[in-house]
Chain A
Amino acid sequence: MLSYFLRRLILVLPVAFGVSVICFLLVQIAPGDPLTAIMPVDATAEEQAAMRAAYGLDKPLPVQYGIWIANLAQGDMGRSIATGRPVAGEVFGAVQNSLLLAISAAVIAFPIGIFLGFLAGYFRDKPLDRVVTAISIAGVSVPNYWLGIVLVIIFSVSLGWLPSMGAGPGGSQDWAWDWLHMRHLILPAVTLAVVPIGIVARTVRALSGDILTMDFVQALYAKGMSRLDVLAHVARNAAATALSVMGLQLGYLLGGSILIETVFNWPGSGFLLSNAIFQRDLPLLQGTILVLALFFVAMNLIVDVVQAAIDPRIKRN
């Protein structure tokens, strides 16, 4: 098991390097000038040139990449052009807030998705299956930013029950697990959970439906096992694939919530990313994308290892 883990870990290194190159180059392709964020629009050409030199933006791209990666190796992600604050502080603060939101959404989405998926798989082609399938298709299809706006209109504007924005009455820095703060989490977490509910439900439905038709299930019944015990076997067989889907979904929840975080003004990585894009804040953009991409890589690694632990066939392959 340890050698499998080490093998997978070594494979992560070239992926991480590739990710860093893509992160760096991708943001250079977009038209626009990062200086726009920090200088008056009518700053003179000389003033712009001086500022460009001050931020090292006048150097050739390979040199800029070399400096960036060398600093990165020392834990320095640079400074945001727009705010002047260290990128690491900005990104990790935002990622913490996104993790809070993503894990809350996962806590809502995964149990519901698994339950609905099993229900649909077990009652395949029955009316209950069709209801669950309709729910999961709706979950996947409804644009979640639209759903977010609708929920805000109902629960914040019309009923006044829940806040429509922010990560707490005093901002995210003094987050506490009390009602005053958690009420800020409810609407964005529910909105964010809708897509993974649909995806997990559809995956688990397909998996459990297929496994239930396999010979070994009949054999288990023939051995006299109770229905619950048989389902436990089915669940274990479905777990490896379902886990990989859920791991990826957690990655998406963390990095793919730009719209939700914008709608709810949630100070997470998506919100940070969207502001960095509009401001062409290259260091912040590169840092945020890199951290999110590496989170994906790490999630994949964890999922692979856990899958191997659950299903010995994966390790053998």
Chain B
Amino acid sequence: MIALKKSFAALALTAGLFCAQTAAAQGTLRIGMTAADIPLTTGQTDQGGEGMRFMGYTVYDSLIEWDLTSADKPSVLIPGLATEWAVDGEDKTKWTFKLREGVKFHDGSPFTAEVVVWNLDKLLVDTSEQYDSRQAAQGKSRIPAVASYKAIDDLTLEITTNAPDATLPYQLAWILMSSKANWEAQGKDWEKVAGAPSGTGPWKLETFVPRERAELLPNADYWDPTRVPKLDRLVLIPLPEPNARSAALMSGQVDWIEAPAPDTIPAMTGKGFVISSNAYPHNWTWHLSRLEGSPWNDIRVRKAANLAIDREGMGALLGGLMVPAKGFMPPSSQWFGTPSFDVKYDSEAAKALLAEAGYGPENRLKVKALISPSGSGQMLPLPMNEYIQQNLAEVGIDVEFMVVEWNQMINLWRAGAADPSVEGSQSINFTYFIQDPFTALIRHLDCNLIAPNGTNWGHYCDDEMQGLFEQIKTTFDPVEQDAVIRKTHEKFVNDALFLMVTHDVAPRAMSPTVKGFVQAQNWYQNFSSITME
């Protein structure tokens, strides 16, 4: 027995020593992502917002980027590889971009206007030598306005749009610049480029094991000295299962995890881990059908439903990790404006509006709603929707759910409310990336984008709204454009065009040794300011 105890103690000691040996070296940050694979490394990333966050704005740059330096104010566009841009005074389809001088790719080749043209061809011209269907699948739909482009000189680029479109700068913030010289050096083979990519970004990809890990090193020669990474190394590990992510953090295998499960947060904070969160352009809504016969065509019903939701109560369900909706955009957004309809919990007012619309205890309103049990950005869709079901029942709206798996939900969202596959559902619970005017507002309600041609799921079409969308596209002064976007959002809220419930706050849990992280109000983040204690 004594021998057994000694062996056990020796084993424990050995294990302890090895644990100490494998602890992170100073300056290495290991991040557990929610993605199941390393995002596409060749330039235009896949895996949605997470792909852009970890493999996009780290290894690459775009002409125009998002300001990720502040946690307190909304994130706005700033110069990236382009230092300035302007639309032609006469021809509003012609844009000129002045490119940053002296920028080099990780392979040492210079960044020029000709390289930008080469990158745009990579996405848009399927007959070009460098056309990459995988990157095109990610990038082409992001720049619908682009009609043609040409290099005027090494540092001047001209882009022509199909029609006047003042949202072009937002579109270009999606497009990341890969190195032409590296592609040539890799035998013009994108598969080889994937293993040894080259961008102009603050991080260089050193190693990459599909589905397991990617290791990034600082680019000491980065063109923006304020964004030269302070860390020695950044390690990205795909950890799609929430419990596995939490365990990896708490056992010291990673220093940071994305999206910890809400029920694990008390245990983490109890052990000294830090939860970082902030508002960002995300919303959790019910997108309403506006087909003939839909009860949501009545503004009184829409407003009543919005007044029936106890959002503070839902906050308890989510461990406080949410921002109660006051509109379609988060209240901190630069585009929130001053809507007159106050989105709040007032069940009496909701009942009164329903009564006015002809519904009451004897004539309860019945609606059918499409929901998913899980999904990217959907937060905790089942309990949240059941909570809403209960709230709505209390004011006289009975909700019948049609529950479909997330992948199928995307198909039903693309198909639109009129498609037989939605089986008469009058709403869809689909969370939205709402970072720029198009993704935030236009795509949901534009008459030209009615599903299945676009993503206007509910078949909404309104002349006044269409006029506002047109104004957004033709207002080239950014300050004036912001004012139009605010006015548009006010109409979204005042007309209660969605069931506006909540906004996610992008929680991430990290070891107390992680210092210097500023969580911007954006889907992307800056990792350059981080140090490890």
B147 contacts across to A, CB distance below 8 A: none
A278:B413 contact, CB within 8 angstroms: no
A45:B452 contact, CB within 8 angstroms: yes
- Minimum distance in angstroms from B56 CB to a CB of chain A: 13
Q: Which partner residue on chain A sits nearest B376 by CB separation? A: A41
A166:B237 contact, CB within 8 angstroms: yes
A47:B140 contact, CB within 8 angstroms: yes
- Minimum distance in angstroms from B266 CB to a CB of chain A: 14
Say which size band chain A's interface belongs to: 35 or more
| Interface hits, A231-279 → B, CB 8 Å | 262-265, 267, 271-272, 275, 278-279
B413 contacts across to A, CB distance below 8 A: 41
B36:A31 contact, CB within 8 angstroms: no
A267:B253 contact, CB within 8 angstroms: no
B211:A267 contact, CB within 8 angstroms: yes
Bound-state Cα–Cα, A153 to B240, Å: 18
A164:B137 contact, CB within 8 angstroms: no
Bound-state Cα–Cα, A149 to B264, Å: 13
Q: Is B404 an interface residue (CB 8 A)?
A: yes
B18 contacts across to A, CB distance below 8 A: 179-180, 183
Q: Is B342 an interface residue (CB 8 A)?
A: no
Say which size band chain B's interface belongs to: 35 or more
Bound-state Cα–Cα, A156 to B19, Å: 10
Interface centre among A84, A163, A172, A265 (most CB of B within 10 A): A265
Scan B8-45; emit 1 where CB is below 8 A from any A CB, else 0.
Answer: 00001011101101100000000000001100100000
Q: Is B276 an interface residue (CB 8 A)?
A: no
| Interface hits, A119-173 → B, CB 8 Å | 149, 152-153, 156-157, 160-167, 169-173
A164:B19 contact, CB within 8 angstroms: no
B212:A267 contact, CB within 8 angstroms: yes
| Interface hits, A33-63 → B, CB 8 Å | 33, 36-45, 47-48, 51, 54
B407:A272 contact, CB within 8 angstroms: no
B239:A163 contact, CB within 8 angstroms: no
Q: Which partner residue on chain A sits nearest B439 by CB separation? A: A42
Bound-state Cα–Cα, A160 to B452, Å: 52
B137 contacts across to A, CB distance below 8 A: 38-39, 43, 47, 51
Q: Which partner residue on chain A sits nearest B267 by CB separation? A: A157
Bound-state Cα–Cα, A202 to B412, Å: 48
- Minimum distance in angstroms from B192 CB to a CB of chain A: 12
Q: Is B461 an interface residue (CB 8 A)?
A: no
Q: Is B142 an interface residue (CB 8 A)?
A: yes
Bound-state Cα–Cα, A267 to B40, Å: 18
B37 contacts across to A, CB distance below 8 A: 82-83, 275
Q: Is A90 an interface residue (CB 8 A)?
A: yes
- Minimum distance in angstroms from A182 CB to a CB of chain B: 11
Bound-state Cα–Cα, A40 to B253, Å: 32
B211:A43 contact, CB within 8 angstroms: no
B408 contacts across to A, CB distance below 8 A: 31-32
Known: A164-B248, A165-B253, A169-B22. Contact between A43 and B141, CB under 8 A? yes
Count of chain A to chain B residue pairs whose CB atoms are closer than 8 Å in the complex:
145
B253:A173 contact, CB within 8 angstroms: no
Interface centre among A48, A166, A280 (most CB of B within 10 A): A166
A31 contacts across to B, CB distance below 8 A: 404-405, 407-408, 411
Known: A38-B134, A161-B12. Contact between A166 and B212, CB under 8 A? yes
Bound-state Cα–Cα, A26 to B247, Å: 34
Q: Is B154 an interface residue (CB 8 A)?
A: no
B407:A278 contact, CB within 8 angstroms: yes
B454 contacts across to A, CB distance below 8 A: 42, 44
Bound-state Cα–Cα, A171 to B210, Å: 10
B243:A156 contact, CB within 8 angstroms: no
B407:A280 contact, CB within 8 angstroms: yes
A169 contacts across to B, CB distance below 8 A: 22
A172:B209 contact, CB within 8 angstroms: yes
A51 contacts across to B, CB distance below 8 A: 133, 137
Bound-state Cα–Cα, A179 to B14, Å: 10
Known: A165-B239, A171-B213, A183-B15. Contact between A157 and B251, CB under 8 A? yes
Bound-state Cα–Cα, A170 to B36, Å: 17
Bound-state Cα–Cα, A164 to B251, Å: 7
A271 contacts across to B, CB distance below 8 A: 211
Q: Is A85 an interface residue (CB 8 A)?
A: yes
A279:B36 contact, CB within 8 angstroms: yes
B141 contacts across to A, CB distance below 8 A: 39-40, 42-44, 47
B405 contacts across to A, CB distance below 8 A: 31-32
- Minimum distance in angstroms from A186 CB to a CB of chain B: 10
| Interface hits, B399-430 → A, CB 8 Å | 404-408, 410-411, 413-414
- Minimum distance in angstroms from B191 CB to a CB of chain A: 7
Bound-state Cα–Cα, A18 to B210, Å: 32
Q: List 18 A-B contacts (CB under 8 A).
A: A31-B407, A31-B408, A32-B410, A38-B134, A38-B138, A40-B141, A44-B141, A44-B453, A83-B210, A149-B247, A152-B247, A157-B247, A160-B16, A164-B251, A170-B209, A173-B212, A179-B14, A278-B406
Residues of B within 8 A of A (CB): 12, 14-16, 18-19, 21-22, 36-37, 40, 46, 48, 133-134, 137-138, 140-142, 144, 191, 209-213, 237-241, 243-244, 247-248, 250-253, 404-408, 410-411, 413-414, 439, 443, 452-455
Given contacts A172-B209, A263-B244, 12 further A-B contacts (CB under 8 A): A36-B411, A43-B140, A43-B141, A51-B133, A83-B37, A83-B210, A156-B250, A157-B247, A165-B248, A166-B237, A279-B36, A280-B407
A-B pairs with the 9 shortest C-beta distances? A32-B407, A156-B251, A171-B212, A164-B247, A171-B209, A31-B408, A275-B36, A161-B15, A157-B250
